[in-house]
Amino acid sequence: MSTKLRKNEVIASFEKKMMTGSSMLVEALKEEKVEVIFGYPGGAILPTFDEIYKDGIRHILARHEQGAIHAAEGYARVSGKPGVVVVTSGPGATNVVTGIADAMMDSLPLVVISGQVSTAVIGTDAFQESDVIGITMPITKHNYQVRDVNELPRIIKEAFHIATTGRPGPVLIDLPKDVSLETGLFDYSKEVNLPGYQPTIMPNKLQIRKLVEAVSSAKKPVMLVGAGVLHAKGSKELLEYAEQQQIPIATTLLGLGAFPGNHELFLGMAGMHGTYAANMAIYQSDLLISMGSRFDDRVTGNLQKFAPNAKVAHIDIDPAEIGKNIETQIPIVADAKEALKELVAQNGVKGQNSVWNEDLKQLKQEFPLWFTEDPTVIKPQQLIERIYEKTNGEAIVTTDVGQHQMWTAQFFKFNKPNRWVTSGGLGTMGFGFPAAIGAQLAEPNTPVIAFMGDAGFQMTLQELSLLQELRLPVKLVIVNNASLGMVRQWQQLFFEERYSNSLVPVQPDFVKLAEAYDIKGMRVDNVADLDRAVEEMLNHDGPVLVDFRVAQKENVYPMVAPGAGLHEMIGVKPQ
């Protein structure tokens, strides 16, 4: 090969890697095997959308940026892959702030790319400028503003690495318009070099040994399992360990599905609207093993009364969570799956907890979740239970936030991981519908059901237009009690029934609304029609919206009132 020819090849190779910032971004997304982007275009991000158009990478045009980011959350929650969001500067960026905070609270891996005004006018209150770096600093795992196009490949690589490793979370890249138009060398390394960010994956074996010994001597052990087990893909190992040691399992709201809901060792969800058996198990336990949960206040109730007799072991990949809310005697920083594998491998002597397990079994039988049927009105629990029965639980379920969320957590049993998509930490109304779209895109062949309140649905109902466009077979279930149900319940119980702005008697015609978007709409207000309507909804090939009119003043029970301990639940049995 002649020197001249080699020189030409080198020049050609170099030119091939010289590209604009927006081209780099799209190339990097392909390198990261991104299948779908959720977003909304605007002035500052137009160069990137032009590259998306030319490249053909799949983009889902939500009808509002909040819809885009919640759809990305649903996609990430079900697929285990990072959700990618692209929005413009100013209002485009601020409209995803709630979703970023939601993903941060629930540890969902997102990479959010926001357009920004040109670097020359940053800080001048330019048109559609907002300080998205300052705004999102406390609600992202990390954020970047790109000032040099040559830094962009490294930043994108790091963003995906940070979002998906350790405790997952959202990472934001703020991309000024002029940087997206500048040309630089695209060198997308396979390696990430972040000396200050090295999550601890493997557990300390001596700490695991301490836990094994604690389990062997315990008479009343219980495990509290959170979403960390799901993020670690550790459900199989959790089942193996629980059965090996015969330890009963309670989960957090977000931990549902990490352990089979129909297993004899499963006690149910713990916390404010958890089961009596799960809460009493925690209260009476002598060894509490928390795994991938962060002792949220909705789980603990009054901290002074939480698990007063228990030695606490806390396994979490985020060391900042250990000891934050609950004093911990056996701290273990590790990936939940790796910790479970080591616990199974050490195969300690089983504790003397057979009597304890029998006592808890009796509690489950004596204090089941309950509701009273009424032939004149559909009870919301009845609706959710009926849909669970008709689907045999073989569905991905998303919810909004409020009473219907708690009833779904109680009455829809999750026997597989990653079938439950809800906003746990931030409690974001308007989450459930767009999250269902993202979930359906992640698993096109699995039925997806979105349970929503009538109020929450109206916060993001513009995504009916997206559903109309994509023709995804999502089933939209409006649990319509014509009120902000959980607010109304608290006003009834703790504010002497002063229903300040919680009743919503004026409603749109949801059936006509669905039909306006060429989506099948149904209304059901009669118990006698419930079974037929549920079957018709599930058997419909395309998207369908059903407005189920349910009892307005039904309350979620049992309940731990504010300031009470887990053992002080009210409404554990029908009055």
Shared domain for 72 and 216, answered yes or no, is no
Number of Cβ atoms within 10 Å of the Cβ of 540: 14
Strand order across the 396-399 sheet: 420-421, 396-399, 448-453, 475-480, 544-549, 520-524
Give 254's DSSP letter.
T
Q: Is 186 among the catalytic positions?
A: no
Residue 506 within a domain? yes
**How far apart are the C-alpha atoms of 114 and 94, rounded to whole Å?**
10
Q: Comparing C-alpha atoms, which of 71, 10, 17, 2 is closest to residue 39?
A: 71
Based on the residue annotation, tell me whether 127 is a catalytic residue of this protein: yes
**What pLDDT, on the 0 to 100 scale, is given for residue 189?**
85
**Do 292 and 360 sit in the same domain of this protein?**
yes
Environment class of 534 (CB within 10 Å of its CB; exposed 0-12, middle 13-18, buried 19+): buried
- 31 in a domain, yes or no? yes
The answer to whether position 193 is within a domain reads no
Active site residue 1: no
Residue from 128, 346, 468, 507 carrying the catalytic annotation? 128
- Asked if residues 99 and 72 have their Cβ atoms less than 8 Å apart, the reply is yes
Residue 75 CA to chain centroid, in angstroms? Answer: 10
- pLDDT value, residue 3: 52
- Collapse the DSSP code of 395 into the 3-class scheme (helix H, G, I; strand E, B; otherwise coil) and give the result: coil
Counted domains in the chain? 3
Q: Which of 141, 145, 158, 177 is catalytic?
A: 177
Give Cβ neighbours of residue 223 (< 8 Å, ≥ 6 apart): 242, 247, 248, 249, 250, 288, 289, 290, 291
Residue 170 CB burial class (10 angstroms; 0-12, 13-18, ≥19): buried
d(CA 316, CA 335): 7
Range of the structural domain that residue 79 is part of: 17-186
Candidates 127, 202, 236, 389; catalytic one: 127
- The CATH number of the domain holding residue 354 is 3.40.50.1220
Q: 173, 309 in Cβ contact below 8 A?
A: no
Domain end call among 366, 398, 420: 366
| CATH code of 414's domain | 3.40.50.970
In a domain, 196, yes or no: no
State residue 114's pLDDT score: 98
Q: Are residues 90 and 236 in the same domain?
A: no
Residue 162, token pair as written in the block: 């940070």
Helices (H), 420-503: 432-442, 454-457, 464-470, 485-494
Q: What is the 3-state secondary structure (H, E, C) of 541-563?
A: CCCEEEEEEECCCCCCCCECCCC
The per-residue pLDDT for range 51-73, each reduced to its tens digit, is 999 998 999 999 999 999 999 99
Catalytic site includes residue 65: yes
Question: Distance (Å, rounded) from C-alpha 492 to C-alpha 500?
Answer: 10
Calpha distance 446→419 (Å, rounded): 10
Best CA proximity match to 82, nearest among 151, 141, 21: 141
Closest CA to 444 of 103, 78, 82, 85: 78
Query: 359 and 412 share a domain?
Result: no
The set of residues, in sequence order, having a beta carbon less than 8 Å from that of 566 and lying 6+ positions away, is 270, 271, 274, 279, 280, 282, 283, 300, 301, 305, 306, 560
Report the pLDDT value the prediction gives residue 56, as an integer from 0 to 100: 85
Specify the length of the chain in residues: 575
Q: Express as a percent the part of the chain with pLDDT over 90.
A: 96
Contact yes or no for 65/104 (Cβ under 8 A): no
> Are 306 and 397 in the same domain?
no
The answer to whether 287 and 218 are in contact (CB under 8 A) is: yes
Residues of the chain with pLDDT under 70: 1-16
Cα–Cα nearest to 419, from 402, 400, 401, 436: 436
Whether omega before 176 lies within 30 degrees of 0, making that bond cis, reads no
Does residue 431 form part of some domain? yes
- Supply angle C-alpha 477, 480, 486, rounded to 5: 110
Per the domain annotation, does 7 fall within a domain? no
pLDDT for position 15: 47
Name the residue with tokens 């009690």: 481
159-215 tens-digit pLDDT: 999 999 999 999 999 999 999 999 999 999 888 999 999 999 999 999 999 999 999
Same domain, 159 and 38: yes
Question: Does 73 share its domain with 33?
Answer: yes
Task: Give the pTM.
Answer: 0.96
180 and 218, same structural domain?
no
Residue 116 lies in a domain: yes
Residues 211 and 306 placed together within one structural domain of the fold: yes
Beta strands in 177-273 (DSSP E): 183-185, 221-225, 249-251, 266-269
Radius of gyration from C-alpha coordinates of the chain: 25
Is 373 within a domain? no
- Is residue 486 flagged as an active site residue? yes
